[in-house]
Structure 1
């Protein structure tokens, strides 16, 4: 649907774009591999390496390179896949679409939702390819709206993105805590009525979630090279474990449902009186899972050839995750031999009961372990994206005490302060769950709408001000497909955001009300008051040197071609 440029040279090899070395001063490579390669480069002594090229592009965008670039093609793709983490997310959300509209709703809603997610991801990839920074779509705002409107637009997009990601990280830790405690329930003794002797409390769930957040923070504080080596394994484990679990379930489940039941059984489990509306509620699972598309772009300043590899990884992750997620959903539906018993499981997670029915306590626990492991990978990846977004936001003075949060640690060369800012913030969010489970779930429900709105706001601004603001496309562009795909993405987000705010069952009571709209209204009101109370006087948007705008005699598209090399550049 789009066109990708060639991936180009591997990290550490000399760039094929000799013109790059002549058109811009060299920025010393921070990569040991890049430095080693320079010693064996051809006789042209000023020929740049890939690491130099990325840093030069970042400098021309307006930021001084301070992070280490160690993420390669495969670690970037692995990271993009792991941040979606379908093996962890699908089992955690499977009960919602099946309970609302039946198995066919879960199956077809996932397929349609994945296609729509691909449209949003492609739109995001096109924009961040032009300006690959840790700020992601937040930074792109600077180049799609008029200068006098950058500050309010960037403020809204930045806070939506940061809060959406923070809600996602907090919800992942909370979900992992629930999964671990569900395992304890599975292994606890039962009375004559089948009621487990162990029932986790809200305090236990929250405290375990905070411990998990601290583990996320510890891993995300590693040097970038360590993170690269660890994240390389995230996607392979996710995909291989998903395939193995599907095979195991289909073999071990004695009586499976029919294909007709799986693919055509629609119900009105929501109580809204309409199978069609119950089907729409089935999109909640895929909307919660297939989001945070720009998470990969927040690692741009630690990635080799980020303008190309980031967008490619985003789209590859949606394709892989869409297929694997659909495979898991279909398999779970086939293995729901006792539908009523599985939906009424004491663990609160239908998929955990499916595992237990198929493999017994031992086999079910082994399969469930991999689900928890992949969900842990997703949490680490999400926190990494959130911390880099926080760091980018802080260096632009969007936080109180921004100078402290924007510091880069001299030992690890990573923004550790921003990592633990996210840990503290998400821990505070989870602590709300001690007093009110409804409130914490409402906060989690705001994650997908907040992130998706931050994406389409930039897409809409790009199209609205097109022709009035000079936007310089990056090496990845959809060409003539760009506007139609953008239109589909915006329409879908507007539609699904309304659905995400609906109560999932009727009659609506205080216990099943979806309070996400209330949380969204509070956040919007608070940010508006904060803005007019003083933030507008000190916040000016992304604080860059605007080098690219101060070069009227040189087309910035030529700058990018020079930096990336002719073989790496796609001309729309």
Structure 2
């Protein structure tokens, strides 16, 4: 292996002092910039995007694009069907702990290689030489699908929330149509496109402002509900188990319903793909990932408990014509159409705002993969606007893909659930590969804690920990638990919500994920392997 190839997957160390002394962080802006450029140079990449994000602005993007407490409101109904209120509460804790473990291990990788490429770059640097390119390519192929689908999913959420409000306020005159939803999805996608293109330079400031909306919006919903709603007892919340899906056991029903609490945590790694636009990325990105999961985990738990204690007549809420039980719960709490509308507008506005961050992350992931000659038309997608320092072609393609995906909504009202399941399963698949490889490298002692003079032809001795890591043996235990949890979650992400499956209630994520994976393998065999050689060396 040549020296340049080693640099390409971010495993050579250039500063022995960096790992021999305690990391204290940059002491000046110039030193910070030099350190960021040094990290990219070590990975074989040039600094072509402008670093505009700091901790607060990136935290705003990461927390809002996940839609955790907002997602709990939207999806908790299916969790009640499989598991009940007690099962929903338990599964939330399991999902939170599981995601925290996964994100901790991914944060360590983000510190080793702070690049927008993310998972597929890490897979390349951790894999055996014989399968490095194929595994890396398939990971990148899955990753771009995750983020492109996530933009469309949030747009679909915006559309269905608006339609739910129309049904609430005009139950007799409004007749919901699929094409109505598609046009509303387009409004969310085009707004996100505008923010990421025309207003791209101000995106960090916008995300910082949205962070405050995300936090204040939580209290703007929780406080009225706790004050106005009739609350049920703790015994009813923590002892009620349901198996409305007709599964053979309550345990199986519980595991099937767990996707309800997994979905709101997907996207916690969004900061990874913005690493090349973040100051002091080797430290800020890992901490951002962990803080994001902790903040959103706490907010999601608060919203879940509030909803469970204030849900009132569950049968009425589940049969609501609005399509969302939480809208009916809001109405039962306030007994006011205007009050309910105002409360629903909070997660609606934040869903639009989530599109901004998801759109940015999706375009950067696509751009990074194109930079390494991964997707079709890479020579166009890798271009960066010299004035705005934004990958505008990737931004335009992301917009186009989301607009096309929204057409699914015309033919199926279950589009949101199917896209959610596809996003969850693809993200779990793309993240499980680097987790498994990281555990293998840990077990074999390939990742070193200090820098030293190395033989570039011996890649098994060139991996060096970044400045952010979990001490051993805790790091290995967390890594092993994270891998175990994500494999179980991946398996159950394909299950339908009801044992009596009909075409309308079928979970098509297995078909969608399988098709995308097989298509990726085919494309790699026919075309991709000729051009994709792993992360391209630019320096």
**TM-score above 0.5:** yes
Q: 1:300 aligns with which of 275, 291, 313?
A: 275
Deviation at 1:495, TM superposition (A): 0.6
1:433-476 CA-partner distances (Å, limit 9, x unpaired): 22334566434311111112111201212333543363211111
Q: 2:519 aligns with which of 526, 544, 554?
A: 526
Deviation at 1:249, TM superposition (A): 0.3
1:150 touches 1:540 (CA, 8 Å); kept in 2?
A: no
Find the counterpart in structure 1 of residue 312 from structure 2.
337
3-state DSSP of counterpart to 1:477: coil
Looking at structure 1, the residues matched to 75 and 357 of structure 2 have their Cα atoms a distance apart, in angstroms, of 19
3-state DSSP of counterpart to 1:261: helix
- When residues 126 and 375 of structure 1 are mapped into structure 2, their CA distance, relative to the original with a 3 A threshold, is same
The reply on whether 1:214 has 2:214 as its aligned counterpart is no
The reply on whether 1:101 has 2:83 as its aligned counterpart is yes
Q: 1:8 aligns with which of 17, 25, 37?
A: 25
The reply on whether 1:515 has 2:490 as its aligned counterpart is no
The reply on whether 1:409 has 2:385 as its aligned counterpart is yes
Find the counterpart in structure 2 of residue 168 from structure 1.
150
Deviation at 1:6, TM superposition (A): 6.7
2:32 touches 2:279 (CA, 8 Å); kept in 1?
A: yes
Alignment of 1:121-132 (within 5 A): 121-132=103-114
Give structure 2 stretches of 5+ with no counterpart. Answer: 1-21, 447-459
Using the size of structure 1 for normalisation, the TM-score is 0.84
Find the counterpart in structure 1 of residue 468 from structure 2.
476
Looking at structure 1, the residues matched to 530 and 346 of structure 2 have their Cα atoms a distance apart, in angstroms, of 49
The reply on whether 1:199 has 2:175 as its aligned counterpart is yes
Find the counterpart in structure 1 of residue 436 from structure 2.
460
2:133 touches 2:534 (CA, 8 Å); kept in 1?
A: yes
Deviation at 1:282, TM superposition (A): 2.6
- When residues 135 and 7 of structure 1 are mapped into structure 2, their CA distance, relative to the original with a 3 A threshold, is farther
Looking at structure 2, the residues matched to 441 and 320 of structure 1 have their Cα atoms a distance apart, in angstroms, of 25
Looking at structure 2, the residues matched to 384 and 7 of structure 1 have their Cα atoms a distance apart, in angstroms, of 30
- When residues 7 and 115 of structure 1 are mapped into structure 2, their CA distance, relative to the original with a 3 A threshold, is farther
The reply on whether 1:311 has 2:286 as its aligned counterpart is yes
1:144 touches 1:469 (CA, 8 Å); kept in 2?
A: no
Q: 1:249 aligns with which of 220, 225, 230?
A: 225
Deviation at 1:225, TM superposition (A): 4.2
Find the counterpart in structure 2 of residue 544 from structure 1.
537
Alignment of 1:385-404 (within 5 A): 385-404=361-380
The reply on whether 1:490 has 2:483 as its aligned counterpart is yes
Looking at structure 2, the residues matched to 504 and 145 of structure 1 have their Cα atoms a distance apart, in angstroms, of 36
1:467-520 CA-partner distances (Å, limit 9, x unpaired): 336321111111211211111111111111111111111212222121211112
The alignment's C-alpha RMSD in Å is 1.8
Find the counterpart in structure 1 of residue 15 from structure 2.
none
Looking at structure 2, the residues matched to 385 and 379 of structure 1 have their Cα atoms a distance apart, in angstroms, of 10
- When residues 56 and 224 of structure 1 are mapped into structure 2, their CA distance, relative to the original with a 3 A threshold, is farther
Looking at structure 1, the residues matched to 180 and 24 of structure 2 have their Cα atoms a distance apart, in angstroms, of 48
Deviation at 1:137, TM superposition (A): 1.7
Looking at structure 1, the residues matched to 412 and 535 of structure 2 have their Cα atoms a distance apart, in angstroms, of 37
Find the counterpart in structure 2 of residue 370 from structure 1.
346
Find the counterpart in structure 2 of residue 70 from structure 1.
52
Looking at structure 2, the residues matched to 332 and 350 of structure 1 have their Cα atoms a distance apart, in angstroms, of 10
Comparing 446-455 with 433-442, which one deviates more in the overlay?
433-442
1:27-56 CA-partner distances (Å, limit 9, x unpaired): xxxxxxx5xxxxxxxxxxxxx431232122
Using the size of structure 2 for normalisation, the TM-score is 0.89
Q: 1:60 aligns with which of 38, 42, 50?
A: 42
Find the counterpart in structure 2 of residue 569 from structure 1.
none
Looking at structure 2, the residues matched to 264 and 423 of structure 1 have their Cα atoms a distance apart, in angstroms, of 45
3-state DSSP of counterpart to 1:348: coil
1:71 touches 1:224 (CA, 8 Å); kept in 2?
A: no
2:116 touches 2:274 (CA, 8 Å); kept in 1?
A: yes
Give structure 1 stretches of 5+ with no counterpart. Answer: 15-33, 35-47, 191-195, 548-572
2:23 touches 2:467 (CA, 8 Å); kept in 1?
A: no
Looking at structure 1, the residues matched to 56 and 506 of structure 2 have their Cα atoms a distance apart, in angstroms, of 43
1:160-210 CA-partner distances (Å, limit 9, x unpaired): 11101111111111111100111111110x4xxxxx431311111112112
2:69 touches 2:296 (CA, 8 Å); kept in 1?
A: no
Alignment of 1:106-185 (within 5 A): 106-185=88-167
Find the counterpart in structure 1 of residue 242 from structure 2.
267
Find the counterpart in structure 1 of residue 332 from structure 2.
357
Count residues with an aligned counterpart: 500
Find the counterpart in structure 2 of residue 554 from structure 1.
none
1:137 touches 1:294 (CA, 8 Å); kept in 2?
A: no
